Chain A
């Protein structure tokens, strides 16, 4: 079946512009996660959606970052007034349900470059 898809695969933007990154999770998966991976840094958690619960935003690095998940499916990560330090690969993952037990399926990522 179809895996997690993300778009665009690459995005180059100028410093100060806003960007939107999209994630289509696996159908039927109630949990959705955003992570980012910077050069020289590991994978860091950004935000977690589980069903209709309020999202866990504890990983968002600043208030320039926000995300929404419409209809329990597609999610959009928005970065406002982008900075060069926002350059990274942004990864989306989904799982059948949230919590410790379910394996997470990752998309291929969106490579964001801020010039």
Chain B
């Protein structure tokens, strides 16, 4: 799986939108972009994934650049519960490796 680069940490105010960036300049055409997050003292949880088009679900939105070399996870209104480490992970279509490869992620702090 290709490598991703994320900022080590970000801060947000409660009730404001948060844009978490991820760079993946070596992404291949068959790589899907997945996001997971890990709340304090919990296991990671799936957030969203996409290939080319922007994606929305109840948790977040994923905006993917036209050249696919970067993407942004958008939390529309941050809450204190969104304070977590967010991981951007590439997974190759048809890849035999089932496990996730986690980088260091972005630690998001949310201020009341």
Contacts and interface: CB of A to CB of B under 8 A. Distances in A.
- Asked whether A and B interact, the reply is yes
Interface of A: 4, 31, 33, 35, 42-45, 48, 50, 56, 59, 91, 93, 95, 98-101, 103-109
6 contacts: A31-B98, A35-B99, A43-B100, A91-B43, A93-B44, A105-B45
By secondary structure, the B interface counts as loop
A105 B47 CA distance: 11
Interface in B29-71: 32, 34, 36, 38, 42-46, 49
Nearest to B31: A100
B2 interface: no
> Could you say which of A4, A59, A106 has the most chain B C-beta atoms within 10 Å of its C-beta?
A106
Nearest to B91: A100
A4 B105 CA distance: 23
A42 B102 contact: yes
Interface residues of B, number: 25
Contacts of B7: none
Contact of B99 (A48, A101, A107, A109): A48
A100 B46 contact: no
B98 A33 contact: yes
B28 to A, nearest CB: 12
A100 B32 contact: yes
> Could you say which of B36, B94, B98, B100 has the most chain A C-beta atoms within 10 Å of its C-beta?
B98
B99 A99 contact: no
Contacts of A95: 98
B92 A56 contact: no
Contact of B43 (A45, A56, A93, A101): A93
A43 B44 contact: yes
Contacts of A104: 36, 44, 46, 100
A60 B58 CA distance: 36
